[in-house]
A = this chain, B = another copy of it.
Amino acid sequence: MAGTDTSLPITLAPGPAIILCEPQLGENIGTAARAMANFGLWDMRLVRPRDGWPNEKAVAAASRADHVLERVRVFETLEEAIADLKLVYATTARSRDMQKEVLGPEEASINMAQRINAGQGAGLLFGRERWGLLNDEVALSDAIVTLPVEPAFASLNIAQAVLLMAYEWRRHGGPGKDLPFGDGLDEAAPRNELVGLFEHLEGVLDQTGFFTTPDKRPSMVNNLRTALTRGRFTSQEIRTLRGVISSIDRRHERPNPNRQKPATDKPITD
């Protein structure tokens, strides 16, 4: 999905830190950075990335999320990486035999928003590609966050897990559910214009013999009006539709230069 407005400045609003524990592939660090940027996060922390830092492959995969990559901090231990945080959630797709609360992404985001709005740091832990977080890493967290996945196919790529958490963060802790653009639909035409369309159409149909018997006319008219009302036409669209009706209505009155094979037309019966 293209659509970035590069004229807009990147803002670094308060949000949770994203902490990747021993990430193995630079590509995943990069795509996670991109996912963070999509939903306005920027504080990425790496604990012992396997291939060191900086990482060329991360840069290539980040699709210009430079404002995230430039701020990445690398730590030797998870304890150091979360030292300044007051709320830490561990993401995992596996049930742990631990006396720890389990939250969904929405609930977790609401909780994080409360802390962050009060000026307290919060963060989300993500585990290594192959086996996720270790139990002693989960033990350092306040609660477990997991996703409402299909249990028979529960394994998410790290960047995708980061994306979903960033998405929920934005909806509940960030700017909310605001979409980047609205529909800009023009207003529906005033009702008299719609009635003008109806009467125009019905008048033409009276001429063409559309209404087979006078007693069926009222219900047929109602059905037509119902269908045509549902579209919430604009004034412009009503003008266009009336042009369409007029054009069809008058086609036998004048030669149409665009018509190539008039012989194949249905005979005009009225």
The verdict on A175 contacting B152 (CB below 8 Å), with A94-B2, A130-B2 known, is no
- Using a CB-CB cutoff of 8 Å, which residues 217-270 of chain A contact chain B? 234, 237
Could you tell me if B156 and A38 are in contact, using CB atoms closer than 8 angstroms?
Answer: yes
A154 in the interface (beta carbon within 8 A): yes
A216 in the interface (beta carbon within 8 A): no
Chain B: minimal CB distance from A169 (Å)? 11
Q: How many copies does the complex hold?
A: 2
Could you tell me if B40 and A155 are in contact, using CB atoms closer than 8 angstroms?
Answer: no
Could you tell me if B92 and A152 are in contact, using CB atoms closer than 8 angstroms?
Answer: no
Main secondary structure of the interface of A (DSSP, over half): loop
Report B-chain residues with C-beta under 8 Å of the C-beta of A40: 150, 153
Report B-chain residues with C-beta under 8 Å of the C-beta of A184: 95
A258 to B108, CA, bound (A): 42
Which of B11, B39, B99, B185 contacts A149, CB < 8 Å? Answer: B39
Report B-chain residues with C-beta under 8 Å of the C-beta of A153: 4, 10, 37-38, 40, 65
- Considering the complex, give the chain B residue whose CB is closest to the CB of A233: B99
> Which residues from chain A sit less than 8 Å from chain B, CB to CB?
1-6, 8-11, 31, 34-35, 37-40, 63, 65, 91-95, 99-102, 104, 106, 126-127, 130-132, 144, 146-161, 163-164, 167, 170-171, 175-186, 234, 237
